[in-house]
Amino acid sequence: MANDKELPDSMISGPDTVTGHIISTTIGGKNGEPKQTVSYMAERVVGTGSFGVVFQAKCLETGETVAIKKVLQDRRYKNRELQLMRTMDHPNVVSLKHCFFSTTSNDELFLNLVMEYVPESIYRVIKHYSNNNQRMPLIYVKLYTYQIFRGLAYMHTVPGVCHRDLKPQNILVDPLSHQVKICDFGSAKVLVKGEANISYICSRFYRAPELIFGATEYTTSIDIWSAGCVLAELLLGQPLFPGENAVDQLVEIIKVLGTPTREEIRCMNPNYTDFRFPQIKAHPWHKVSLLSNSTLNVINIFCC
């Protein structure tokens, strides 16, 4: 249940629309700090989904550009994304500046997460090269991949957070500095050994096989699988396993990696041990024939 001590101090009422209006809120006031009013001009929507909306805004006091994620909040519960973001501080994880609640004319409660603004995503960068029939320079692939895994290593060990929806759209990149930031922790969770979790999680193209098999006691290794798929997409310019549905997703994986052994299936989900799959040998990576053996070996490490 929500606790007043865990909620942002400020509550504002405003128009139901997002862009084109000014949002004013109060920050500070804790540990003897003076309170100060901060105002944001909402400029444009940069992302939408079932979660709500993300918009670009400018702080009128400092001129700083920020991203504000506005999500509908159930008054009865804590917001897990907020709790997790408060625990993380890393160069490759998008940072939370502060947060506040807002209400609409229908008395709906929204949580607004004010975050650092990063102008591009890995998804858009991949699309840029693909639309121009080009491959991403290998130096950028290496640079982005290193930072993605650096961010994951921090998340998995220090706060113990599993992202559970890692994909190109949720990896931001500064086009000037090429610094990468993992974002969108709406599906993230601290996994506890022995506790069951939902298996229908993670976007399909980046979903680990154990999730497709319905495993509920998985580990942060599902993020490593997703990151391996992202690495392959950086190299290919297209998803490695583009399944049309959950079953087809498994077929796409088997077509490349071969049929999993009975022991591998048992490790993913013991209930599937008697299920019979067509016996298919691992494919010799025909999609990536232009890549070096060392690069293929790296993909093999993550997608296995």
pLDDT value of residue 289: 56
Give how many domains the chain has, as a whole number. Answer: 2
Nearest alpha carbon to residue 218 among 231, 228, 209, 206: 209
Judgement on whether residues 132 and 215 belong to the same structural domain of the protein: yes
Let me know whether 203 and 230 are in one domain.
Answer: yes
255 touches 234 (CB < 8 A): no
What are φ and ψ of residue 84, in 5° steps? -70, -40
Tell whether 181 is in a known binding site: no
Instruction: Determine the pLDDT at residue 50.
Output: 74
Report the 10 Å Cβ neighbour count for 199: 19
Q: Does any domain span residue 215?
A: yes
Identity of residue 287: K
Helix H or strand E encompassing 232: helix 221-236
Q: Which of 79, 57, 78 is CA-nearest to residue 68? A: 57
Q: Whole-structure pTM over 0.85, yes or no?
A: yes
Shared domain for 194 and 229, answered yes or no, is yes
Q: Which of 4, 9, 165, 223 is catalytic?
A: 165
105, 248: one domain:
no
Domain that holds residue 19: 14-116
Helix axes 221-236, 293-302, angle to 10 degrees: 150
For β-strands 96-103 and 11-13, DSSP reports them as: parallel
Q: Among 85, 116, 147, which residue terminates a domain?
A: 116
Is there a catalytic annotation at residue 223? no
CATH value at residue 71: 3.30.200.20
Is residue 145 one of the residues assigned to a domain? yes
- Give just the sign of the alpha carbon dihedral 204, 256, 275, 208: negative
Tell me, yes or no, whether 125 and 110 share the same domain.
no
Of 97, 116, 135, the last residue of a domain is 116
Q: Walk along the chain (304 residues) and give the pLDDT tens digit of each residue.
A: 444 344 454 555 444 455 568 888 877 766 777 788 899 999 999 988 777 899 999 999 999 999 999 999 988 888 999 999 999 999 999 999 999 998 887 889 999 999 999 999 999 999 999 999 999 999 999 999 999 999 999 999 988 999 999 999 999 999 999 999 999 999 999 999 999 999 999 999 999 999 999 999 999 999 999 999 999 999 999 999 999 998 899 989 998 888 888 888 888 888 776 667 777 777 665 555 556 666 666 666 655 5
Instruction: Supply the DSSP symbol for 93.
Output: B
Residues 171 and 253 in one domain: yes
Is 146 in the same domain as 200?
yes
Distance, in Å, from the CA atom of 253 to the CA atom of 304, rounded to the nearest integer, reads 10
Q: Does 3 map to a domain? A: no
pLDDT at 3: 43
Verify that 160 and 72 share a domain, yes or no: no
Q: What is the model's pLDDT at position 282?
A: 76
pLDDT of residue 291: 62
